[in-house]
Amino acid sequence: MIDTVVFDFDGTLANTNQIIINSFKHIYSVFRNEECDMEYVMNTFGEPLALTLSRDFGKFNFEDVIACYREYQKDRFSQEVTLYDTVEDTLKYLNNKNIKMGIATSRLKSSTMSALKIFDVVKYFHIIISADDVNKHKPDKEPLMKAIEGLKSLPEKTLYVGDSKFDMECAINAKVTPVLAGWQHGSEELAEKYNIKYVLDKMWDLTKIIKSNNLNI
């Protein structure tokens, strides 16, 4: 029986791909005076931003780089970022079925909470574990386990929905059933690499997985 679902945020609940790519283009232009490799940037999705920026902009002042990144997004987020198709309907359905829900994301707490409030979905989540809540980040199991423990749930009764290799490895490391958001580039290869049983075409497909595991729903 499944009684808990934990979600990633970026690329899973919300389509933040383009604003992230544009933000990297901006800081590459400002600090390195060069174009960024979009494929490389997309491969970092799911990794904590601080880790990516420290690696790629190590010779610059970190606070200047991250401030520039955030400033670029400041007035663009609410216009350029949207929830994926059927996300809100799925959250409402699961909430009505008393499924416990949480988030385990590599995004910082402040920006995660801000985004959830913009979309008016924060009410559906009983716990939100962000990059600043853990010592070890995905693919380590710590963020997901912290969410599960906070929800008083068990790994074997939990689904983790994510879109990146970091999410799939995190779920596997935590002995949680991974569910892949199949709308990202390379999702077929990811599903094959990690032998993912559940791949979503749209978020509403999650309700079918819940029903198939919970005959009383």
Structure confidence by residue, pLDDT tens digits, 87-100: 999 999 999 999 99
Residues with active-site annotation: 8
How many structural domains does the chain have? 2
pLDDT range class, residue 158, cuts 50, 70, 90: very high
129-140 pLDDT tens trace: 999 999 999 999
Question: In terms of domains, do 146 and 175 share one?
Answer: yes
Instruction: Give first-to-last CA distance, the chain, whole Å.
Output: 10
The mean pLDDT of 123-151, rounded to a whole number, is: 97
* pLDDT confidence of residue 197: 96
Domain boundary among the residues 31, 62, 79 is at: 79
Over 70: is that where the pLDDT of 56 sits?
yes
Average pLDDT, the chain: 94
Last residue of a domain, one of 49, 79, 109: 79
pLDDT for 153 equals 98
- pLDDT exceeds cutoff 90 at 48: no
Each residue of 187-203: pLDDT tens digit?
Answer: 999 999 999 999 999 99
**Residue 140 CA: distances (Å) to CA of 58, 72, 104, 160:** 24, 30, 12, 14
Among residues 45, 79, 113, which one ends one of the domains? 79
- Confidence band (pLDDT; 50, 70, 90) for 65? very high
Q: What is the pLDDT of residue 67?
A: 93
Please tell me what DSSP assigns to residue 29: I
The pLDDT of residue 195: 97
Q: What is the mean pLDDT of residues 103-117?
A: 93
Q: Are residues 172 and 197 in the same domain?
A: yes
**Same domain membership, residue 63 and residue 97:** no
Per-residue confidence (pLDDT) for residue 214, from 0 to 100: 84
pLDDT given for residue 78 in this prediction: 81
CA nearest to 104, candidates 163, 182, 44, 21: 163
91 and 46 belong to one structural domain: no
**What pLDDT, on a 0 to 100 scale, did the predictor assign at position 79?**
84
Taking the C-alpha atoms of residue 49 and residue 73, their distance in angstroms, rounded to an integer, is 14
Q: Are residues 125 and 187 in the same domain?
A: yes
Range of the domain at 121: 4-15+81-213
- Grouping H, G, I as helix, E, B as strand and the rest as coil, residue 119 is coil
- Same-domain check for residues 75 and 95: no
Q: For residues 197 and 80, which has the higher predicted lDDT (pLDDT)?
A: 197
Residues 39 and 94 occupy one common structural domain: no
pLDDT bracket for residue 117 (50, 70, 90): very high
